[in-house]
Structure 1
Amino acid sequence: MIARRPKVPHARDARVVLFTRPGCHLCEQAEEVVADVCERTGDSWTTVDITGDRALVEAFTDQVPVTFVDGHQHDFWRVDATRLGAALTR
């Protein structure tokens, strides 16, 4: 059976959603990049700890950090500042 992709919450107040888990050094780096880019573009962002949701753990545990922009998956593992900035200016 193929695991179903969970419905990704589209935060009403955030264009960028960063899925993370505690103790993940890539998540910490991604959070710094997202914060910097969003500060420059004026866009809002939030983080979601996947460990509180079984469906998110099943979907993203091997990919965190996972970045969504406007409800669509944008990146995983590493966040490229240039690419994220371009996505936010479209």
Structure 2
Amino acid sequence: MNGDRAAHERSGTESSDPAEVTSRVVVYTRAGCHLCEDACALVERVCSETGTAWTAVDVNTSDALRAAYSDSVPVVTVDGVQQGFWRIDENRLRRLLTR
């Protein structure tokens, strides 16, 4: 696990059970994915600025998550609605969280 991911774990929450996720922003990730690390850093920054709770969920913890998101990670949802995948638009995320 690299430094970026470790920093994320201190600021965000990680969950292996999607039913337990109560954060407004969820990042579906996979270990070893450089795009996932970039997305988590971006989400951490924007959520810190806006005071929004966020969670990272590893898609490899569930067959259903792996089937739903495997080809698209990282995937970012806000209030349960998918807002982006692969490369996350920082300005769009910020707008969604401040309206």
- TM interval, shorter chain, is 0.7 to 0.9
In the other structure, the counterpart of 1:16 is: 25
Identical-residue share of aligned pairs (%): 50
Q: Distance in 2 between matches of 1:51 and 1:28?
A: 15
Higher helix share: 2
Alignment length (residue pairs): 82
In the other structure, the counterpart of 2:12 is: none
1:75 is matched by which residue type in structure 2?
Answer: G
Greater RCO (CA < 8 Å, at least 6 residues apart)? 1
1:7-86 aligned at under 5 Å gives the runs 9=19, 11-12=21-22, 14-86=23-95
Mind listing any 5+ residue stretches in structure 2 that lack a counterpart? 1-17
Q: Is the 8 A contact 1:17 1:48 kept in 2?
A: yes
Mind listing any 5+ residue stretches in structure 1 that lack a counterpart? 1-7
Q: RMSD value over aligned CA atoms?
A: 1.3
